[in-house]
Structure 1
Amino acid sequence: MKKLRMNLFRSGILILGLVVLSSFSQAHKFYVSVTNVNYSEKDDALQITSRIFIDDLERVLEERYEIDPELATKKEADFAEAYIEKYLRAKFSVLLDDQPVSFNFLGKRYDNDVIICYLEVLDVNLSQRSSIAVQNEVLTDLFEDQKNVVHIKYLGKKKSFVLIKENNKGMLNL
């Protein structure tokens, strides 16, 4: 009888362990990007880094442009960077005094499961401006739950935003 109870106890622990483990595998993935916009007084430029999960960006490029970029692999397509830039130009914008300004796509690098994209807006002349705004719709066309965190820094002022599909613009008054 004692042996039967011990076997039932062990079976119960095993079943409980399996239930707990299976709940982890069904956890919902979060969708987030983080963009930093920093003003360089020396260069009179906005220096921008955007961190996006590689698998999410790859999926949106596949669906939007019907390509297989193979990001962050030895087989990465030669055209991958051009499509990343094209996508960012369609989904990300910087506005000075509510007027869109162009940015230079400087390149990208990979850091574990994240791609870091480098952008720059030159000759911003912020001393003559009243506001900086960022509109970020990256991945919101693919993931309903996508959140794009944006941090803007200018001469000691810092403002952070969590942008979503319905509210995709954040502004710092200078």
Structure 2
Amino acid sequence: MKVILMLSVFILTSFMHPLKMSFSSMSVSNEGKVKIETRLFLDDLTLHIEDRYRLKDADFSTPAANGSIALQQYIRENIHILQAGDTIYFIITGISLSEDGQALVVEMESAGALDKKQSYKVKNSLLFDIFKKQKNLLIIKGKEYYKFYFTIDDPVQEVN
């Protein structure tokens, strides 16, 4: 009985990782188009997308795959920019696996343009709906360099 219990604990902890974090980088073109590349742990994301959108097996291999379509909806709900009363959403332009196969790399582009002369807010609440300790790091590269940590208590950050 002890052996079975120890084996069960080992198996469960082998597939779970304690770090609950996404890593994103953002850039804004001269025309105001925003690009974001986000890395999410594949295991966390897959289980959540399957559960939330009732998919048997989430597939992210092509833009038309069931997991990719569900992920686009999830991105729309959880990552966007707020500026002057408008919401700028993102469209997934590419999905790939990280070199080690542990993360899904999601490339996105804004559906609208950002006015670079005005301040704006970024919302990033990815995976907050399942992990209370989830943190999302966003680095904005450009003339100015910004680094933000989004948490369940602080899912929106202002950029001046």
Q: TM-score, normalised by structure 2?
A: 0.78
Q: TM-score, normalised by structure 1?
A: 0.72
CA displacement 1:8-42 (0-9 Å, x = unmatched): xxxxxxxxxxxxxx8xx69961100011110122x
Question: Where does 1:23-172 land on structure 2 (aligned, <5 Å)?
Answer: 29-41=18-30, 44-71=32-59, 78-97=65-84, 99-111=86-98, 112-121=101-110, 124=113, 126-127=115-116, 129-154=117-142, 156-172=143-159
Structure 1 Cα separation of the partners of residues 27 and 118 of structure 2? 16
Structure 2 Cα separation of the partners of residues 44 and 147 of structure 1? 27
For structure 2, list consecutive stretches of 5 or more residues without a partner in the other structure: 1-9
Q: How many aligned positions are there?
A: 144
Structure 1 Cα separation of the partners of residues 152 and 86 of structure 2? 21
Structure 2 Cα separation of the partners of residues 48 and 59 of structure 1? 23
Q: Would the alpha carbon gap of residues 79 and 167 (structure 1) be closer, same or farther in structure 2, given more than 3 Å must change?
A: same
Q: Does structure 2 retain, via aligned residues, the 8 Å contact 1:36–1:150?
A: yes
Structure 1 Cα separation of the partners of residues 51 and 80 of structure 2? 22
For structure 1, list consecutive stretches of 5 or more residues without a partner in the other structure: 1-21
Structure 2 Cα separation of the partners of residues 166 and 119 of structure 1? 25
Amino acid at match of 1:55: D
Structure 2 Cα separation of the partners of residues 123 and 86 of structure 1? 17
| Structural RMSD (CA) | 2.5
Q: Would the alpha carbon gap of residues 78 and 102 (structure 1) be closer, same or farther in structure 2, given more than 3 Å must change?
A: closer
State the identity %.
22
Q: Would the alpha carbon gap of residues 40 and 169 (structure 1) be closer, same or farther in structure 2, given more than 3 Å must change?
A: same
Bigger CA radius of gyration: 1
The Cα shift of 1:99 comes to: 2.7
